[in-house]
Structure 1
Amino acid sequence: MIAPSVWANGDAPTSAPKTVDPSAIKLPAGFSATILTADIGPARHLVVSKNGDVYVKLAKLKDGKGIYRLRDTNKDGKADEQMGFGDYPGTGIFIRDKYLYASSNSEVFRYELNDKGEVIQPDQPEKIVTGLRVKERDQSKSIAVDNQSMIYVNVASDNDACREAGTGKGLMPCTLLDSAAGIWQFHANRLNQTYGDGVRFATGLKNVVGLDWNPKTNSLFVMQHGRGKFHDFYPQYYTAQHSAELPAETMYELKKGADAGWPYVYYDHRQKKKILAPEYGGDGKKTGGEKTLDPVAAFPAHLGPNGLLFYTGTMFPEKYRNGAFIAFHGQSAELQKGYFVAFVPFKNGKPAGPWEIFADNFAGVDIAKPTGPIQHRPCGLAQGPDGSLYVSDDLGGTIFRIAYKK
């Protein structure tokens, strides 16, 4: 077992990564990976327009720009043209109908697209939302847009368990829930909305980086990052290993008014129960949150689900149609694995069967016995017009394309 302290927050070594041979990415039979570009910078979420242009949102500015359009002009599978625009870093980017939406850590913008899917005026975005809450940690604002012109924005908590400073006591009630730890809803076609103009669509979600609108269910699905340490203030109930292996990373289907229970409860995927958090009287066994939302799927702790995509293409085999791909950005002590893309089969709008690792070995090393730096950390997912799958890497700055051929 890897020492729990190594795994507690899913952070990777900081040494400079090297480019991995795309043939080293482990995929099911018939699939192959290629590299669109290997030097884009810290690539967070990404989208692909109808003409095949890939738009990537960067966590840090590259040459003063936070969004890059990648274009393969000679159709050799490599981006030979890059165009940067947007003077703000961030995570969120989404295409719906004739607009490209993108977020900084405090604002949301949109860019009109022409009939080819190209941004018309890259230097003149329209501001949709301003003044979103920004604190020292988990600042990124992931976004999704539904088919009714509403935009959904994650506003994370900056307090991992809503504790009083320097103590293990939980704030009761957790005052952060009024302005954070949830999904806020705004009008996608209304300019200059303030934070106060938004509707708190769902609450009790510590941090959601991966989210997507499911066109089959017409509902929003999200992946929650679970909380951290249990044992620091509650060693009578939890060991360091518990902190390394709890709680589950969870997938939820959200309806307006939903409450996923953070910080009062967490989901234990081994007991398959919602457990009362120790900050609020729990002991690792007491259940709670009877009126809060149950996850539709659960995954081992600290995997860091940063990307979620419902696959609607026809390139991949039938089993993948309408299922969910998840980009895991962290690592699990329980699995002794990390940095992979998983797949969850869906049927009738619900997970139907166990999840599986779809694309593996982005790390480029055996993370149970590392001999060098982690090379890539999957972050964002996007579907190309031909049904191929794109994966961004915010450590090495690589964009992978995964395709299928019988």
Structure 2
Amino acid sequence: MTTRLRDVLPLAIAAWILAGPGALAFDEPPVLAGKDALGDWTTDAPGVRRKITLDDLATPYDTPSAQNGPKVVKQPEGAWPKAPEGFEVTKFATGLSEPRVIVTAPNGDLFVAESRAGRVRVLRDADGDGQPEVNETFATGLTRPFGIAFHPVGAEPEHVYVGNTDSVVRFPYKNGDLKATGEAETIVADIPSGNESVGGGGHWTRDLQFSPDGKTLFVSVGSRSNVTDDETEKRRAMILAFDPDGKNERVYAWGIRNPVGLAIDPATGTLWTSVNERDGLGDDLVPDYITHVKEGGFYGWPWYYLTGDHQDPRHEGKRPELKDKVITPDVLVQSHSASLDLAFYEGDAFPEGYRGDIFAAEHGSWNRARRTGYKVIRVPVEDGKATGVYEDFLVGFVTPEGNVWGRPVGVATAKDGSLMVTDDGSGTIWRVAYVGAK
């Protein structure tokens, strides 16, 4: 049986997509709200916009808690990621081992964490043809590396920092280095790790960002569990802050179950994060989220979710003194999407409306009956604020049968203004470039 677009998308959205550019009297599609904002991979399409609000939240246990991990398959013949009209998607590099975070160095080189292989790779597109002429291993012997950051902030860094799952290290670096010129120096030796033998958690990714003045190093540390509140969660489910030498540890924000990705808004200097929320409450709880981070802020986990009016039923009656302290995130993303890395678009090659917006990678669900995620979304940002709307930008990684051949993880603006997306399902870095509407 063939599924038609008009059968799975709300009528207004289907009409907008099918009509093509310029065919309707508005420049952007309507925003899907309420139940229409939810769905699965069959409702994804470039340009579809969604807004999930607190009024749309399901009741705990409305549906059973699914165990529906993806079957990752080889990229089928003819399958290719789909971006909005005017954008071209090509393979920048492939054959990588679990490529995760990707970061653009000040000189334009692309640094990629290959977590499974324990190394950081450098790729350079010297002639700007969309293909790397240089592909070198910068450092090996790392422990599930994820976050990468350069310091001092600016055009002439002296070190590249790497977030292992259990530590932060740094290597001497100057622009153009393709291999580390010195041994790893341990900056923070005892980050709670993802190496423990645990069930229902053990989040291992450690992203890194420096404040705009370079005086503060932010480190994301996810929870060890789904909703446990005992001593095993000490120094977890939070964003830690350090001096650049690793000293003076402090808690920047807490109650954040898994703040996988960190990013600094270049226009305001504000820290943002992309968060995996908890599982086990049903298909449509709890939404993942993308938000700016308030220093000292509490975001609810594990006792509350999204507001103080929503207490996790597994912690009924606990920590009432925190009820009024819960901060509601800026953008709610469909539950179980597994929102990972995020980046602000800092180039000038995309249309002007994209500049300063957020791109975020949704790795894809396992705790949902029908798959969601497996795409890159765009979050419009104006004057440092998000409206709560997000838009499908890069989709197409799920087969009609529901198998998965690609899983987006990292996003970065390349030197030429294209968007780079790592995909640890196919071991590929995708390049999304604007070539103009046809």
Task: Answer whether TM exceeds 0.5 for this pair.
Answer: yes
Q: In structure 2, do the counterparts of structure 1 residues 338 and 317 end up closer, same or farther at CA, with 3 Å as the change threshold? A: same
Q: Deviations for 1:46-104, whole angstroms, at most 9, x for unmatched residues?
A: 1122443221101211xxx5111123355442234321123113211123431322111
TM-score w.r.t. the length of structure 2 is 0.75
Question: In the TM superposition, what is the alpha-carbon distance from 1:353 to its structure 2 partner?
Answer: 5.9
CA distance in 2, matches of 1:7, 1:229: 5
Partner of 2:396: 361
Q: Deviations for 1:274-331, whole angstroms, at most 9, x for unmatched residues?
A: 511102227xxx9x83221111110110000111111121111111111111100013
- Give the letter aligned to residue 170 of structure 2: R
CA distance in 1, matches of 2:167, 2:250: 16
Choose from 133, 141, 145 the match for 1:87.
141
Q: In structure 2, do the counterparts of structure 1 residues 50 and 19 end up closer, same or farther at CA, with 3 Å as the change threshold? A: farther
Q: In structure 2, do the counterparts of structure 1 residues 209 and 9 end up closer, same or farther at CA, with 3 Å as the change threshold? A: farther
Aligned length: 359
Question: Is 1:306 matched with 2:340?
Answer: yes
Choose from 264, 276, 283 the match for 2:311.
276
* Identity level (%): 26
Q: In structure 2, do the counterparts of structure 1 residues 155 and 337 end up closer, same or farther at CA, with 3 Å as the change threshold? A: closer
**Structure showing the higher strand proportion among its residues:** 1
8 A Cα contact 2:102 2:113, kept in partner = yes
Q: In structure 2, do the counterparts of structure 1 residues 306 and 300 end up closer, same or farther at CA, with 3 Å as the change threshold? A: same
Question: In the TM superposition, what is the alpha-carbon distance from 1:133 to its structure 2 partner?
Answer: 0.9
Q: In structure 2, do the counterparts of structure 1 residues 160 and 113 end up closer, same or farther at CA, with 3 Å as the change threshold? A: same
CA distance in 2, matches of 1:21, 1:110: 42
8 A Cα contact 1:19 1:396, kept in partner = no
8 A Cα contact 1:86 1:123, kept in partner = no
8 A Cα contact 1:300 1:335, kept in partner = no
Q: CA RMSD in A?
A: 2.8
Q: In structure 2, do the counterparts of structure 1 residues 258 and 56 end up closer, same or farther at CA, with 3 Å as the change threshold? A: same
TM-score w.r.t. the length of structure 1 is 0.80
Q: Deviations for 1:193-244, whole angstroms, at most 9, x for unmatched residues?
A: 4xxx4111111011111221112222211111011113xxxxxxxxxxxx12
Alignment of 1:66-145 (within 5 A): 66-73=119-126, 75-84=128-137, 85-88=139-142, 89-95=144-150, 96-97=153-154, 98=157, 99-114=159-174, 116-118=175-177, 121-134=180-193, 135-136=196-197, 137-145=202-210
CA distance in 2, matches of 1:128, 1:319: 39
Q: In structure 2, do the counterparts of structure 1 residues 66 and 138 end up closer, same or farther at CA, with 3 Å as the change threshold? A: same
CA distance in 2, matches of 1:50, 1:6: 48
8 A Cα contact 1:10 1:330, kept in partner = no
Q: In structure 2, do the counterparts of structure 1 residues 105 and 118 end up closer, same or farther at CA, with 3 Å as the change threshold? A: same
CA distance in 1, matches of 2:355, 2:128: 26
CA distance in 2, matches of 1:245, 1:70: 39
Partner of 2:432: 402
8 A Cα contact 1:8 1:302, kept in partner = no
Alignment of 1:33-52 (within 5 A): 33-52=89-108
Question: Is 1:12 matched with 2:51?
Answer: no
CA distance in 1, matches of 2:94, 2:252: 37
Question: In the TM superposition, what is the alpha-carbon distance from 1:256 to its structure 2 partner?
Answer: 2.0
**Which runs of 5 or more structure 2 residues have no equivalent in the other structure?**
1-38, 41-61
